[in-house]
Amino acid sequence: MDYNRLAELLFPSIDKTPEDYEAMYPERDLPEGAKVTRLGPSPTGFIHLGNLYGALIDERLAHQSGGTFYLRIEDTDDKRYVEGAVETVISSLRFFGINFDEGASEDGDKGAYGPYYQSNRGEIYQCFVKKLVQEGKAYPCFLTEDELAEIRAEQESAKVTTGIYGEYASKSRNLTYEEIEANINEGKPYVIRLKSTGTGNVPSEELKYIKVEDAIRGTVSMPENFQDVVILKATGIPTYHFAHVVDDHLMRTTHVVRGEEWLMSLPIHVELFEKMGWEPPTYCHTAVLMKIDDENGNKRKLSKRKDPELSLDYYRNEGYHPEAVKEYLLTILNSNFEEWRMANPDTPADQFLFTTDKMSSGGALFDLNKLNDVSKDVLLKIPAAELTKFMIEWAREFRPEILPLFESDPEYLTRILDLGRDGKKPRKDLIYAKQIFEFISYFYDDYFRIEATIPENVSDEDAVEILTRYLETYDHSDDQSQWFEKIRQIADSMGYALRPKDYKKNPDDYKGHVGHVSEVIRIAIMGRSQSPDVWEIQQILGEERTVERVKALIV
C-alpha cells in the first residue's frame, strides 16, 4: 500500500506539515525546571471540587517553578456544551485565587500556543492523523454499527476481550487502496484507527508492560495497549486520547494533572506518544475525592447527586472564604502541609512548597467538619475590616436583602466581627458568611429575636425585677468590672448565689446563681443564652439600643 497516496486520499485539503506546527509552537522559553500545566475541562457548566483540587495542583506546580498554567477547553464532545460554561470555569477558579496565564479567557484566546478550544484545532489534529497514515500507523475503518455489534457479540460468546484488535481488525487493516477509494466515493462513513503494535490475547506471561513514572503514584506498570483505538471520529473530530496527545505536545505541557479515572487509558496514550515520536509529559494522576457517608459511615466517592458540597457553587453560596478552602485543600493535598502550617502560622499558604510526591494516591478524604475547623483558623488571621469587605461582597451576590445593613455602616460590622478576636484565647466562631450572619444577626434590629427562654429557676417576676434593676443602675460608661459588680449586687440582693459552686453545694439556700441573673440580661439584649461577652456587645450596640432591648422585655 502506498501510504502517502492513502493519506492524500483521506486528507486532500491538509497542506500543512507537522514540521510547520512544530515551528509555529516552539519549545517555550522558560527558566530551567519551569513546569507547564493545563486545565482541560469539558464545558459542561458544572465545576466541582475535583476541578478546583486539580487546578490548585496545576497552578502550584506552574507558579512555584516560574512556569505557565493555561486553560484549554476540551469541547470535542459537543453534546456536552453548555452556554457560558467557560466563563463559569474562569470566574469560579478566579474566586479561589486561581488564575490562568494563558489560554481560553473571557476575551477570547490569550497566548501563542492556541487555539485553546479543541473545536478550533480540527486542522491541526487532521494534519497529525495524516502523518500517522503516511507512516502506516493509522488507517480508515468503515465498520458499521451493526458490524461492530456483531464483532462484540462474537467476542463476548468466545469470552475474549472486546474491541478492534488483531484478527478483528484485519478486515479493515487489509483493505486495499482501491477498496478504500470506492468506499469513500460511495460516501461510506469511516473513522481513523491507530494501528496498534501491542500484543493482546497472549498468555499472561507473554504480556508486555508499559512503565510510567507517575509523579504522584511512582512507577505505574500496566499491560501495553493492543487495541486499534479510534483517533479520529467519523465527523473528523478527534477522540480525547488523540486530542490531548497532540495538544499537550504542541502546547509544550510538561505535567498533566488529571483524575485517576484516566489511568486506565494511559497505555493508549503511551502508545500514541510513541507512534508520534514525542516525549510524553509527566503524568500526575490524582486520587478521587472521597467522603465518609453520613448514613452508613463508609468511605465513598463524592457524588454529584448526593453531595451538594461537590459543587464549587456550594462554597460561594455558603460564603466560605477562598483562603479557607485553599488552605483546606492544601491539607488534603500534601501530607506535610499541616506540620508546615504549625511551624509557620503566619506565612501565606502560597509559600508552602507543594510537591506531588507528598500526595497520597489512595482516595483523598474530604471532610466538611475539617474544612470548618481550618476556616476558623484562617478567618482569625484575616483582619476584621477585610472580613467586612468579604461579607459585603458575599451579601451582594447571595443575600441582597441584607446588603444595606452591611453597607450602611461597615464600621459597625467590623466591630462586630472583631469581637473577642484579640487576646491569648481568641474566639473562633466565625466559619463562613452564612453562618457568620446567623451568628451575629442579633446586632441588627430587623433580625433580632428572642430565641432563648429564661432559666427555669428564675421566675417571671424575678426576670422583670432583674431587668428593671439592671436598667435603673445601667451606666453605659461603666467599665467591664464596674458593670459586672452591679450584676453581682442585683444577684446578691435577690437571693442568687454569687458563686455557682455555692449554689451547687446548697441549692436550697438560693434561687440560683449570678450566672442565671446575667443570662436573663443576655437574653434580653441578644435574644440568646450563649454569646460573646455581654459588656463588649453592649459597647458595640450602643446605649440606646441596649436600653431599648432591656425595656422591651419589662412588661
Q: Which residues have a catalytic role annotated? A: 304
- What does the alpha-carbon distance between residue 418 and residue 84 come to, in Å, rounded to a whole number? 39
Residues 494 and 508 sit within 8 Å (Cβ to Cβ): no
- What does the alpha-carbon distance between residue 360 and residue 214 come to, in Å, rounded to a whole number? 12
- Using the contact rule CB under 6 A, the part of the chain among 4-12, 35-43, 164-172, 480-488 near ligand GLU is 35-43
Burial 260-291 (b: 16+ CB within 10 A, else e): eebbebbbbbbbbbbbbeeebbbbbbbbbbbb
**Is residue 42 involved in binding ligand GLU (CB under 6 A)?**
yes
Closer residue to ligand GLU in complex, CB, 118/531? 118
- Using the contact rule CB under 6 A, the part of the chain among 38-46, 200-208, 407-415, 512-520 near ligand GLU is 38-46
Task: Provide the minimum distance between the beta carbon of 264 and ligand GLU in the complex, in angstroms, as a whole number.
Answer: 13
Task: Provide the minimum distance between the beta carbon of 316 and ligand GLU in the complex, in angstroms, as a whole number.
Answer: 21
Closer residue to ligand GLU in complex, CB, 42/334? 42
Closer residue to ligand GLU in complex, CB, 47/132? 47
Closer residue to ligand GLU in complex, CB, 129/256? 256
Task: Provide the minimum distance between the beta carbon of 244 and ligand GLU in the complex, in angstroms, as a whole number.
Answer: 5
* Number of residues this chain uses to bind ligand GLU (CB under 6 A): 7
Task: Provide the minimum distance between the beta carbon of 529 and ligand GLU in the complex, in angstroms, as a whole number.
Answer: 50
**Is residue 244 involved in binding ligand GLU (CB under 6 A)?**
yes
Q: Name the pairing type of β-strands 512-513 and 496-497.
A: parallel
- What does the alpha-carbon distance between residue 524 and residue 550 come to, in Å, rounded to a whole number? 5
**Number of H-type helices and E-type strands within the chain:** 24, 15
DSSP E strand boundaries for 262-385: 282-286, 289-292, 299-301, 364-365
Task: Provide the minimum distance between the beta carbon of 81 and ligand GLU in the complex, in angstroms, as a whole number.
Answer: 12
Closer residue to ligand GLU in complex, CB, 130/269? 269
Q: Which residue's Cβ lies closest to ligand GLU? A: 74
Q: Is 409 helix (H, G, I), strand (E, B) or coil?
A: coil
- What does the alpha-carbon distance between residue 83 and residue 44 come to, in Å, rounded to a whole number? 9
Residues 129 and 241 sit within 8 Å (Cβ to Cβ): no
- What does the alpha-carbon distance between residue 108 and residue 104 come to, in Å, rounded to a whole number? 6
Region at 415 (left for phi over 0; alpha for psi -120 to 50; beta for the rest)? alpha
Among 11, 35, 41, 215, binds ligand GLU (CB under 6 A): 41
- What does the alpha-carbon distance between residue 275 and residue 22 come to, in Å, rounded to a whole number? 16
- Using the contact rule CB under 6 A, the part of the chain among 37-45, 81-89, 304-312, 440-448 near ligand GLU is 37-45
Q: Is 37 helix (H, G, I), strand (E, B) or coil?
A: strand
Radius of gyration of the chain (CA): 33
**Is residue 74 involved in binding ligand GLU (CB under 6 A)?**
yes
Closer residue to ligand GLU in complex, CB, 289/517? 289
474-493 mask for ligand GLU (x: CB under 6 A)? --------------------
The alpha-helical segments, DSSP class H, found in 158-299 are 166-173, 177-185, 240-250, 266-276
252-271 mask for ligand GLU (x: CB under 6 A)? ----x-x-------------
Residues 190 and 142 sit within 8 Å (Cβ to Cβ): yes
- What does the alpha-carbon distance between residue 443 and residue 440 come to, in Å, rounded to a whole number? 6
Among 6, 7, 40, 151, binds ligand GLU (CB under 6 A): 40
β-pair partners for 213: 219
Task: Provide the minimum distance between the beta carbon of 73 and ligand GLU in the complex, in angstroms, as a whole number.
Answer: 9
**Is residue 37 involved in binding ligand GLU (CB under 6 A)?**
no
- Using the contact rule CB under 6 A, the part of the chain among 17-25, 34-42, 98-106, 383-391 near ligand GLU is 34-42
- Using the contact rule CB under 6 A, the part of the chain among 39-47, 265-273, 432-440, 463-471 near ligand GLU is 39-47
**Is residue 75 involved in binding ligand GLU (CB under 6 A)?**
no
Task: Provide the minimum distance between the beta carbon of 183 and ligand GLU in the complex, in angstroms, as a whole number.
Answer: 32
- What does the alpha-carbon distance between residue 505 and residue 498 come to, in Å, rounded to a whole number? 13
Closer residue to ligand GLU in complex, CB, 262/439? 262
Closer residue to ligand GLU in complex, CB, 113/432? 113
Q: 203: Cβ–Cβ under 8 A, 6 or more apart, which residues? A: none
- Using the contact rule CB under 6 A, the part of the chain among 36-44, 94-102, 124-132, 191-199 near ligand GLU is 36-44
Closer residue to ligand GLU in complex, CB, 271/323? 271
**Is residue 241 involved in binding ligand GLU (CB under 6 A)?**
no
Taken as a whole, the chain contains a residue count of 555
β-pair partners for 222: 210
Cell, residue 163: 474491541
Task: Provide the minimum distance between the beta carbon of 263 and ligand GLU in the complex, in angstroms, as a whole number.
Answer: 11
**Residues that bind ligand GLU in the complex, under the rule CB under 6 A:** 40-42, 74, 244, 256, 258
